[in-house]
Amino acid sequence: MRRVVLLLVFLSASAAAQYPNKPVRVLVGYAAGSSTDIVGRIMADGLGAYWKQSVHVETRAGAAGNLAAAAAAKAPGDGYTLLFAQNGLAISAAALPNLPYRAETDLVPLAPVAATPHILIVAPAFAAKSVQELIQRARAAPGKLSFASSGVGNSDHLCGELFNLMAGVQAIHVPYKGGAPAALDVMGGRIAYYFAGMPVGLPLTRAGKVRALAVTGKTRFHAAPSVPTVAEQGLPEYEATLWQGFFAPASMPPALAARIAADIEAVLRMPATRDKMLGAGVTLFEADHATFKRYFVQEVEKWRAVVKKANLKLE
């Protein structure tokens, strides 16, 4: 028996040492041009150069990222199918018990990549010029204003629900299959507001295509210092962050998981990667493989409590 165990350990270590020897695909559960897609492609390019192997991003938009997550959970744990996900994975694990997979047992967190506040955007012609003015308009017309998200249960959706709960307003949630189409309808005035991911919302703000009312972090965001926080504008307890990172099928051998995590961390340390992330308005999530595994468990528990407290029905 001991000989068999040693053989399996040797084979696992050997597979990790030879990885990758063919193209790798990265599943992203959001539409092309969404914040998670943008960051995922930066990482795919960096890993491809680092590994000297093709790394392809495959978008499977829909169901708040759960189509891609379910496919990743069922894939072989050989490292050639990875998942690039965000908060929505933890929110779904916390709030949707009937999914065709279990994120906590069918997927393993590999490495975190980014942790960035959202940016609250409205159309340039929208009447509200601040968070307080937005709250006043929403309170004056309960159930009339609409807010967008990249899908039910995603980070931007919960940003909106948390805002409505803390501000005491009623607004209609309109889910999309990604951040880009959601932002497009805000630009056109068809949706009142959207807590966009920074890679989507910040370029649109800089181009004057939308107006930023706030960012959702504890402090102002380094790439948009003139935009106040939500907390500064009357909701002092409000805070929300969009995090993103890599996951793999739980069947992946620990040695291979550790090897891929180390490679992701190496790519994140490269100046070229950091410059691209900075250009996209992204803040890096400084943590290692073990820390990210613990963090994901904590995130599931946190969102389970939020969903219960707000009595949200996400199915």
> Could you report the per-residue pLDDT of 110-154, keeping only the tens digit for each?
999 999 999 999 999 999 999 999 999 999 999 999 999 988 888
C-alpha 29/C-alpha 56 separation (Å) is 14
C-alpha 199/C-alpha 1 separation (Å) is 52
> Could you report the per-residue pLDDT of 207-218, keeping only the tens digit for each?
999 999 999 999
Contact 157, 173 (CB under 8 A): yes
Q: Is residue 315 part of a domain?
A: no
Q: Among 204, 233, 262, identify where a domain stops.
A: 233
Instruction: Say if residue 108 is in the same domain as residue 245.
Output: yes
Judge residue 34's burial from the number of C-beta atoms within 10 Å of its C-beta, 0-12 exposed, 13-18 middle, 19 or more buried.
Answer: buried
Q: Among 206, 233, 260, identify where a domain stops.
A: 233
Instruction: Say if residue 274 is in the same domain as residue 169.
Output: no
Structural domain span for residue 229: 117-233
Q: Which residues of 226-245 are buried (b: 16+ CB within 10 A; e: fewer)?
A: ebbbbbbbebeebbbbbbbb
> Could you report the per-residue pLDDT of 13-59, keeping only the tens digit for each?
566 878 999 999 999 999 899 999 999 999 999 999 999 999 999 99
C-alpha 112/C-alpha 241 separation (Å) is 13
> Could you report the per-residue pLDDT of 262-297, keeping only the tens digit for each?
999 999 999 999 999 999 999 999 899 999 999 999
> Could you report the per-residue pLDDT of 203-247, keeping only the tens digit for each?
999 999 999 999 999 999 999 999 999 999 999 999 999 999 999
Instruction: Say if residue 246 is in the same domain as residue 102.
Output: yes
Total domains, the chain: 2
Q: Is residue 223 part of a domain?
A: yes
Instruction: Say if residue 286 is in the same domain as residue 181.
Output: no
Specify the CATH number for the domain of residue 206. Answer: 3.40.190.10
User: What is the predicted pLDDT for the residue at 291?
Assistant: 95
Instruction: Say if residue 44 is in the same domain as residue 60.
Output: yes
Q: Among 200, 233, 266, identify where a domain stops.
A: 233
Model confidence, pTM: 0.87
pLDDT category of residue 93 using cuts at 50, 70 and 90 = very high
Tokens of 310: 């707000």
Q: Is residue 26 part of a domain?
A: yes
